[in-house]
Amino acid sequence: MTLVIIQKLIVKNVRNLNFIEVNPSLHNWFIGENGAGKTNILEAVQLACSSRSFRSLKSRDYINWHAKECVLFAELLSYSKKCISLAVSKSIDGAVILKMNGELVSSASQVAEILPVQVIVPDTSHLIDSGPSYRRKFIDWGVFHVEHKFADYWKTFNKLLRQRNTLLKQKKLEIKLLAVWDKAYVDFAVKLDQARRAYMEGFLTFLETKQYDLLFGKPIVFEFYSGWPTEMSLESMLKKSYDADKHKGLTHYGPHRSDLKIHSNGRNIQQCFSRGQKKLLYVWLKLMQVEYLQQKMARACVCLLDDLVAELDIKHRKFIYNILQKLDVQVFATAVEPDPILDKLNNSDIQMFHVKQGELVPLAKHSGIKPVQAVV
């Protein structure tokens, strides 16, 4: 497997992180009170590696209030000692500059392909309890890093979907014109669905080897839904739903309606799992995605875990920590206070930092941190 880690991270003007420079270890824990800036560090890691934030789509939200731009730099190192530098600059006016090894990069997806970043946040309700859009994002994270054409399929399909919905809203709709757009719509919808379905078939087969029924104490059934009944073609479903589509001015069938349905004993998982079980399932699924990516593509990831210990008992925290140790991935994690379990782990690659008002102070030996007081 090609292990890639962040060996240097520089962050300027991301929320209350005025300036920090850190040389991370393999496992990095950031400890501090609520509001100290722990999650801001995880957000900065994702921004540096993908130009995206898991907390906000608007750069104004995460740029320090006194600044006009934020700047991030990450130096990556592989086992082959090959270095890759990533630089991201984002302004409050929406301007974005991306560079890889000093050369300008045209799209964020080119940067995101280098080092996959798996984000695991406290609010499990998004994946388990909320609507299908969150589960589609979960699926698409995996597909993006497996199928290189997926990003293009996704962008083209969404353009066609918006165009079709625009046509459906017209009072005098030309059926022949709609038929032309439907042909292209179906073509890319099928490509998108095939990529998702191929990934999910492999991923769910991989999950079956993990005997997850024993882990959760009850049977769990995962079912991928394409966004239309599989016994019918999408083209025929569009014809069948034309009146409903025209009435609502939107398209009812297609991969924009796909979902990952999760059941246990014939009931939706939302109804029969406790909050702790949902948290465990959420974290486990995310980490299994990472392991599957390692096996299928021989690629490593960076895992960002925000407030991992919340709602997990000692037994299941140990279980998650053991998975993280077995996975050859770099970890950035946050907690209000150090977890005593970590002291018992046989891992010399753990670094701990105390976070207070945007300043980082090392709590472990051999830290590469250079703490600088942040302006807040």
Report residues of the chain scoring pLDDT below 70: 1-3, 124-125, 344, 346-348, 364-376
Give the closest residue to 277 by CA, choosing from 124, 94, 137: 124
At 217 the pLDDT is 82
Q: What is the C-alpha separation between 16 and 357, in angstroms, rounded?
A: 7
102 in the Ramachandran plot: left (φ > 0), alpha (ψ -120 to 50) or beta? Answer: left
CA angle 367, 373, 374 (to 5 degrees): 115
Taking only the tens place, the pLDDT of each residue in 231-270 is 999 999 999 999 999 999 999 999 999 999 999 988 888 8
At 43 the pLDDT is 98
Compute how many other C-beta atoms are within 10 angstroms of the C-beta atom of residue 365: 8
At 300 the pLDDT is 81
**Maximum distance among all alpha carbons in the chain?**
72
SS3 assignment, position 201: helix
Residue corresponding to tokens 């090609």 = 2
At 368 the pLDDT is 45
At 2 the pLDDT is 57
In the chain, which residues fall in CATH 3.40.50.300? Answer: 1-115+300-376
What kind and span of H or E run contains 74? strand 69-78
In the chain, which residues fall in CATH 1.20.1050.90? Answer: 128-297
What architecture is domain 128-297? Up-down Bundle (1.20)
String of DSSP letters for 259-295 = EEEEEETTEEHHHH--HHHHHHHHHHHHHHHHHHHHH
Cβ-Cβ contacts under 8 Å for 356 (sequence gap 6 or more): 32, 33, 36, 37
Q: What is the pTM of this model?
A: 0.92
Domain 1-115+300-376 CATH superfamily: P-loop containing nucleotide triphosphate hydrolases (3.40.50.300)
